[in-house]
Amino acid sequence: MRCGTVTGSASSDSTLTCHEGDPASVTAHPPVNARARHTAPPGGLLAGRRVLVTGVLTPKSIAYAIADACLERGAEVILTSFGRAMSLTERSARRLGLAGPVLEMDASRPDQVAAVAAALRETWGGLDGAVHAIGYAPEDALGGRFMTTPWESVATAMQISAFSLKTMAQELAPLMEGRGGSLVTLTFDATVAWPLYDWMGPTKAALESIVRYLARDLGSRGIRVNTLSAGPLETVAAKAISSFSDLRDAWQRAAPLGWDSGDARPVADAAVFLLSELSRAVTGEMLHVDGGYHSQGAPAAAHVLEALGE
């Protein structure tokens, strides 16, 4: 599994988890119906909807929380993975109670994405939603090396973390037409610069722009495309970030609603909303799920906060 130590944020699987394995030559397994262990009410928000989720590694993955929330709301879910990450994803799939196999897919390879689309067509006949939680940057593109990063490393980060959304959309859109389809990806607000995030910042900016262009091109086909920008979360990759605790603590102090970096459920619930018919008029949007941190300027001094609490 290719892992870049992404520093500066723990907002999403697409920014701070390993990319889904090595770019090995793999093909999609013919899947079986992937019903989950969850017993959802007949009127669950995603009842009858079929969702593909990428980026699940361990239960700490944000994508895992999203898959779990989708299942709880009545969706059918299939996961993807590849390379050495496959065993981790398969273990998580069993924990989620998924009956079908994990589909092998390197999202940077169009042929493998096309193979997954073909497998989904054979299994489900169509697709209602897909979660793009894929991100990777080489180590020399992170951690304060912005001025010395070679183009080859930038290109790798861009292809895997941003352009792969377009690759997925191209292959999966035909399965979503006429179904009110929804594509959801994960970002870490790239409208500002973050410490040590370096080339993942411009990469996420590209991803956010791709969301808007896909929203433009797919809207006439009834397909929505949106992104979630979460606050820092304690994913597996976050453990490799020496400054994560500082970011987490600063976020909790400054966010008007506070922020629990150990709870990915608010992000997962927002993803459920974007995958559901409740968001039928929402596209091209970046939805912040960060306790309101993005809306603030300089954090208030402690004595001001104490006075407001009296």
Q: Which domain does 91 fall in, by range?
A: 13-309
What tokens does 82 get? Answer: 């590849």
Number of structural domains, the chain? 1
CB under 8 Å to 264, separation ≥6 — which residues? 62, 64, 65, 230, 233
Q: In what order do the strands lie in the sheet with 286-289?
A: 103-104, 76-81, 50-53, 129-132, 182-187, 224-230, 286-289
Whether 1 is in a domain gets the answer no
- How far from 271 is each of 155, 227, 242, CA to CA, in Å? 28, 9, 29
Whether 6 is in a domain gets the answer no
Whether 222 is in a domain gets the answer yes
Domain CATH for 239: 3.40.50.720
Whether 240 is in a domain gets the answer yes
Helix (H) or strand (E) holding 184: strand 182-187
CB under 8 Å to 137, separation ≥6 — which residues? 4, 6, 153, 156, 157, 161, 198, 199, 200, 203
Give the catalytic positions in this structure.
197, 204
Global pTM value: 0.86
Q: How far apart are CA 110 and CA 20, in angstroms?
A: 15
pLDDT for 52 equals 98
Series of mean pLDDT values for 10-residue runs along the chain (310 residues): 35 40 36 46 86 96 97 98 96 95 96 98 97 95 95 98 98 96 97 92 98 98 97 78 78 93 96 98 98 86 57
Helix (H) or strand (E) holding 230: strand 224-230
Class of residue 84 by CB neighbours under 10 A (exposed 0-12, middle 13-18, buried 19+): middle
User: CA triplet 198, 165, 54: central angle to 5 degrees?
Assistant: 95
pLDDT for 244 equals 76
> How many other CB atoms are there within 10 angstroms of residue 307's CB atom?
10
DSSP reduced 3-state for 124: helix
Q: If we measure between CA atoms, which residue out of 197, 143, 146, 250 comes closest to residue 8?
A: 197
pLDDT 10s digits, 18-56: 333 333 333 344 333 444 455 555 669 999 999 999 999
pLDDT for 37 equals 52
What tokens does 113 get? Answer: 């994405």
Whether 3 is in a domain gets the answer no
Q: If we measure between CA atoms, which residue out of 227, 209, 225 comes closest to residue 289?
A: 227
pLDDT 10s digits, 139-160: 999 989 999 999 999 999 999 9
Whether 217 is in a domain gets the answer yes
Phi/psi of residue 238, nearest 5 degrees: -60, -25
Whether 129 is in a domain gets the answer yes
Q: How far apart are CA 181 and CA 49, in angstroms?
A: 9
pLDDT for 236 equals 74
- How far from 120 is each of 27, 113, 242, CA to CA, in Å? 13, 11, 40
197 contacts 146 by C-beta, under 8 angstroms:
no
Whether 90 is in a domain gets the answer yes
